[in-house]
Amino acid sequence: MVDLADIRAVCKGLPRSYEVIVRDRIKFRVGRIVYLALSRDERTMGIGFPREERAAALAAYPGKFLPPSKADERYQWIEVDLAAIDRAELRELIEDAWRMCVPKKVAAEYFGA
């Protein structure tokens, strides 16, 4: 299981990323765009995820991924059970969500492309 410390360790190194607290929830942003939001109990996180891939991820990994709330269905968003992923999966999910929010040049510099 991963936790807030693991999430912060990944997010800390991402250019333009910063942490905020909104309505008692920890969120990570690039500019005004939220790419990761922890649940209040810190057991799940909502994360930026391609909308067109969401149904396939939910079907393939029902114990790992959860559908977003009704209010978030219109966004590129998915919920993740933190007990079901390891640090490598966490890093990949966070970096992919972050990449959706930053300019392509910033992502290319970060990934060394």
Task: Please write the tens of the pLDDT for every residue from 15-44.
Answer: 999 999 999 999 999 999 999 999 999 999
Q: What is the pTM of this model?
A: 0.95
Q: Please give the single-letter amino acid code of residue 101.
A: C
Cβ-based neighbours of 34, under 8 Å, separated by 6 or more: 27, 28
pLDDT digits (tens, 9 = 90+) for 68-102: 999 899 999 999 999 999 999 999 999 999 999 99
CATH of domain 4-111: 3.90.1150.30
Q: What is the distance between the terminal CA atoms of the chain, rounded to a whole angstrom?
A: 31
